[in-house]
Chains A and B, each alone.
Chain A
Amino acid sequence: MTDHSYFTIDNLGLLIAAGMVVIAAGISVLMKLGVAKSLVWSMVRSFVQLLIMGIVLEYVIRQQNVWLVVGLIAIMLIAAVQITMSRAKGVPKGLVPIVLLSLVVTMLIMISIVAELIVRPHPWYAPQVVIPLTGMMLGNTVSALALAMSRFFESMRERYEEVGTLLALGATPWEAARPSVMSSIRLGMLPTIANLASAGIVTIPGMMSGQIIAGGNPLDAARYQFVILTSFSALTLLAGAIILALVYKRCFISYDRYLMPQPAQPLSVRDMLNLRKAVHSGAGNGPAHGTGTGARP
Chain B
Amino acid sequence: MSPNPTPPAPHLFEASHVTAVMPQQGGDHTVFHDLSFHVDTGEVVDITGPSGAGKSTLLTAFARLNAHTTGTFALDGKDSDSFTPQQWRVRVSYLPQTSTLIGDTVADVIRLPWTLAVRQGERKQEPADMLADEHIRQLLDAMGCADIQLDRNPRDLSGGQAARVSLARTILTKPRVLLADEVDAGLDEENADKVADLLKRAAEQGAGVVRIRHRAPDGRANRIMVLSGGELSEQQAASAAQGEGRRA
Known A165-B102, A167-B89, A169-B112: A257·B96 in contact at CB below 8 Å? no
B86 touches A259 (CB 8 A): no
A98 within 8 A of B: no
> Residue A109 at the B interface, CB < 8 A?
no
User: Which residues on the B side are within 8 Å of A258 (C-beta)?
Assistant: 65, 67
Question: What bracket does the count of chain A residues touching chain B fall in?
Answer: 10 to 19
Is B96 a contact of A169 with CB atoms below 8 Å? no
Are A168 and B67 interface neighbours, CB within 8 A? no
Residue B94 at the A interface, CB < 8 A? yes
Tell me the nearest residue of chain B to A166, going by C-beta.
B102
Contact with A along B108-149 (1 / 0, CB 8 A): 000011001111000000000000000000000000000000
Are the CB atoms of B117 and A259 closer together than 8 Å? no
0/1 per residue, B92-106, Cβ < 8 Å to A?
Answer: 011110101010000
Interface SS, A side: helix
- B57 on the interface (CB 8 Å rule)? no
Chain A contacts with B in 142-171, Cβ cutoff 8 A: 161-162, 164-171
The interface centre, meaning the residue of A162, A169, A256 with most chain B CB atoms within 10 A of its CB, is: A169
Query: How far does the alpha carbon of A162 sit from the alpha carbon of B100 in the complex, in Å?
Result: 6
B96 contacts which of A164, A170, A175, A256 (Cβ < 8 Å)?
A164
- Chain A stretch 9-56: residues in CB contact (< 8 A) with chain B: none
Q: Does B77 contact A (CB under 8 A)?
A: no
Q: A162-B100, A256-B85 are contacts. A169–B113 as well, Cβ < 8 Å?
A: yes
Contacts of A125-146 to chain B: CB distance below 8 A: none
Q: How far is the CA of A229 from the CA of B98 in the complex (A)?
A: 46
- Check A169/B65 contact, CB under 8 A, given A161-B96, A161-B100: no
B93:A171 contact, CB within 8 angstroms: no
With known contacts A170-B116, A257-B64, A259-B67, A165–B100 Cβ distance under 8 A: yes
**Which of chain A's residues have a CB closer than 8 A to the CB of B64?**
255, 257
Given contacts A256-B85, A258-B65, contact A168 B93 (CB under 8 A): yes
Return the chain B residue nearest A179 by Cβ: B102
Whether B66 sits at the interface, judged by CB under 8 Å, is yes
Q: In whole Å, how far is A81's beta carbon from the nearest beta carbon of chain B?
A: 29
- Most chain B C-beta atoms within 10 Å of own C-beta, residue among A165, A253, A257, A258: A165
Our pick among B66, B102, B118 for the contact of A170 (Cβ within 8 Å) is B118
* Residues in chain A near residue B87, CB distance under 8 A: 170
With a cutoff of 8 Å between Cβ atoms, the chain A residues found around residue B89 in the complex are 167-170
Q: Which residues of B contact A175 (CB under 8 A)?
A: 116-117
Closest B residue by C-beta to A175 = B116
Closest B-chain residue to A168, C-beta based? B94
Cross-chain contact A170 with B113 (CB below 8 angstroms): yes
Residue pair A256, B86 in contact (C-beta under 8 Å):
yes
Count B-side interface residues using an 8 Å CB cutoff: 26
Residue A217 is within 8 A (CB to CB) of chain B in the complex: no
Residues of A within 8 A of B102 (CB): 162, 165-166
| Most chain A CB within a 10 A radius of its CB, from B65, B85, B169 | B85
Q: Give every chain B residue within 8 A of A172 (Cβ-Cβ).
A: 86, 116-118
Complex partner residue of B93 from A161, A169, A259, CB under 8 angstroms: A169
- What is the bound-complex CA distance between A258 and B116, given in angstroms? 17
Chain A residue contacts of B86, Cβ below 8 A = 170-172, 256
Which residues of A lie under 8 Å from residue B117 when comparing CB positions?
A: 172, 175
CB distance from B19 to the nearest CB of A (A): 15
| Chain A nearest CB, measured from B68 CB (Å) | 8
- Is residue B153 within 8 Å, beta carbon to beta carbon, of the partner chain? no
Is there contact, CB below 8 Å, between B173 and A161?
no
Is B67 in contact with A167, judged by CB distance below 8 angstroms?
A: no
**How far apart sit A92 and B77, CA to CA, in the bound complex (Å)?**
39
Q: Is the CB of A168 within 8 A of B63?
A: yes
Chain B residues within CB distance 8 Å of chain A: 63-67, 85-87, 89-90, 93-96, 98, 100, 102, 112-113, 116-119, 169-170, 173
Q: List 7 other contacts, CB 8 Å, given A164-B96, A169-B90.
A: A164-B100, A168-B93, A169-B93, A175-B116, A175-B117, A257-B64, A257-B67
Q: List 27 A-B contacts (CB under 8 A).
A: A162-B100, A162-B102, A164-B65, A165-B96, A165-B100, A165-B102, A166-B116, A168-B65, A168-B170, A169-B89, A169-B90, A169-B93, A169-B112, A169-B116, A169-B169, A170-B89, A170-B113, A171-B118, A172-B118, A175-B117, A255-B64, A256-B86, A257-B64, A257-B65, A257-B85, A258-B67, A259-B67
A-B CB proximity, top 5 nearest: A259-B67, A256-B85, A165-B100, A170-B118, A170-B90
